[in-house]
């Protein structure tokens, strides 16, 4: 292991142009905006155009992150795309992004951990950088969940949306006696005994179809807060920090009630929570980088800030990433 850390050098995101409000959804299924807002905090979501694939959303977010970092696509060693809605069964969506960006010298792969995908991808990127296997990594969360929703099922179709977010991670040597910048700790978990509580009922090996998202919402809710709190507490313990040390808590944006309950359980002041779920719904692996991009670009996240990312999703999978901005 080299004595170096993965530092975020730039962020970017993209939401498709088409907006679907709660009122729009109430014309498709038997629901109301009041029910959706009260149960989830979601007010609207973005839907990819017919000719936009996940890789297209990912490419725009990636270009914005590269611009923000002030580097070119050829500077990137590795591209990781976290997605559960790939363009094709194979090849990886990441190689399409690599092609779109014009990167010819690096390598690219997808990872699949549903809503925890971005946290998983950041953890992989951190490990590659610490091990010296890559110096500059593009980590992308990108989804077109609108394509796997059952638009006749009001219990699920109101919750999700499309989008993409990206972060550029670069290796930086650790310098003695200086405030440590970059990723400080990563904690991942999964428990496959819950795999049928949130899943897609199709796939190449089982049904030879794409399938639709199915979810036992109450079961997800029941486990979410405890699992999230567990990995965040693990991050505090590993880094010798507490909730008071955090500048920003940037959770997976699934549901305002889950986010608020998690923050309360962890003793995190609600003013430190970045919440964007109202504007795009649950965009699965894209939601954390979407929220991160908003909070960085509006000036909330400043150099030196301690930032906690966390997510929980299908599998179940869950995890946290603690970093110093």
C-alpha 138/C-alpha 108 separation (Å) is 9
Kindly tell me which of 195 and 218 has the beta carbon lying closer to ligand ACO: 218
Is 220 a binding residue for ligand ACO by CB under 6 A? The answer is yes
Residue from 99, 107, 109, 221 touching ligand ACO (CB under 6 A): that is 221
Which parts of 266-295 interact with ligand ACO (CB under 6 A)? 282
Residue from 47, 115, 134, 138 touching ligand ACO (CB under 6 A): that is 115
Is 40 a binding residue for ligand ACO by CB under 6 A? The answer is yes
Residue from 101, 198, 235, 294 touching ligand ACO (CB under 6 A): that is 198
Residue from 8, 57, 142, 158 touching ligand ACO (CB under 6 A): that is 158
Is 35 a binding residue for ligand ACO by CB under 6 A? The answer is yes
CB of 297 to ligand ACO, least distance (A): 24
Closest Cα to residue 323, out of 125, 69, 75?
A: 125
CB of 155 to ligand ACO, least distance (A): 4
Q: What x-and-dash track marks residues 90-109 binding ligand ACO by CB under 6 A?
A: --------------------
CB of 272 to ligand ACO, least distance (A): 20
Is 312 a binding residue for ligand ACO by CB under 6 A? The answer is yes
Positions marked active-site: 115, 252, 282
For 275: left if phi > 0, alpha if psi spans -120 to 50, otherwise beta; the answer is beta
Which tokens go with 60? 């725009």
Tell me the window of 45-53, 74-82, 85-93, 252-260 that interacts with ligand ACO (CB under 6 A).
Answer: 252-260
Kindly tell me which of 25 and 79 has the beta carbon lying closer to ligand ACO: 25
Closest Cα to residue 292, out of 145, 134, 136, 118?
A: 118
Chain residues in the site for ligand ACO (CB under 6 A): 31, 35, 39-40, 115, 154-155, 158-159, 198, 215, 217-218, 220-221, 224, 252, 254-255, 258, 282, 312-313
């Amino acid at each position: 292991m080299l004595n170096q850390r993965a530092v975020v050098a730039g962020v970017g995101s993209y939401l498709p142009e088409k907006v679907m409000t709660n009122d729009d959804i109430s014309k498709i299924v038997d629901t109301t905006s009041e029910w959706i807002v009260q149960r989830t905090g979601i007010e609207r979501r973005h839907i990819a155009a017919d000719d936009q694939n996940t890789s297209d959303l990912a490419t725009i977010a990636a270009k914005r992150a590269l611009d923000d970092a002030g580097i070119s696509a050829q500077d990137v060693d590795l591209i990781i795309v976290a997605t559960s809605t790939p363009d094709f069964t194979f090849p990886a969506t990441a190689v399409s992004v690599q092609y779109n960006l014009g990167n010819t010298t690096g390598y690219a792969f997808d990872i699949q951990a549903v809503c925890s995908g971005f946290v998983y991808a950041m953890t992989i990127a951190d490990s590659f950088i610490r091990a010296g296997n890559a110096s500059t990594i593009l980590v992308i969360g990108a989804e077109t969940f609108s394509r796997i929703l059952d638009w006749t099922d009001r219990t699920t179709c109101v919750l999700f949306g499309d989008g993409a977010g990206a972060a550029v991670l670069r290796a930086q040597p650790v310098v003695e006696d200086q405030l440590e910048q970059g990723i400080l700790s990563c904690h991942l978990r999964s428990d496959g005994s819950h795999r049928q509580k949130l899943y897609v009922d199709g796939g190449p090996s089982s049904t030879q179809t794409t399938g639709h998202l199915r979810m036992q919402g109450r079961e997800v809710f029941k486990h979410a807060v405890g699992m999230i709190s567990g990995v965040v507490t693990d991050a505090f313990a590993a880094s010798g920090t507490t909730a008071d040390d955090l500048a920003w808590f940037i959770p997976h944006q699934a549901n305002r009630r889950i986010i608020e309950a998690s923050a309360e359980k962890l003793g995190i002041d609600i003013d430190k929570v970045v919440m964007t779920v109202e504007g795009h719904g649950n965009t699965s692996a894209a939601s954390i980088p979407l929220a991160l991009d908003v909070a960085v670009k509006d000036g909330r996240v400043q150099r030196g800030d301690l930032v906690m990312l966390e997510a929980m999703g299908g599998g179940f999978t869950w995890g946290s990433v603690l970093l110093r901005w």
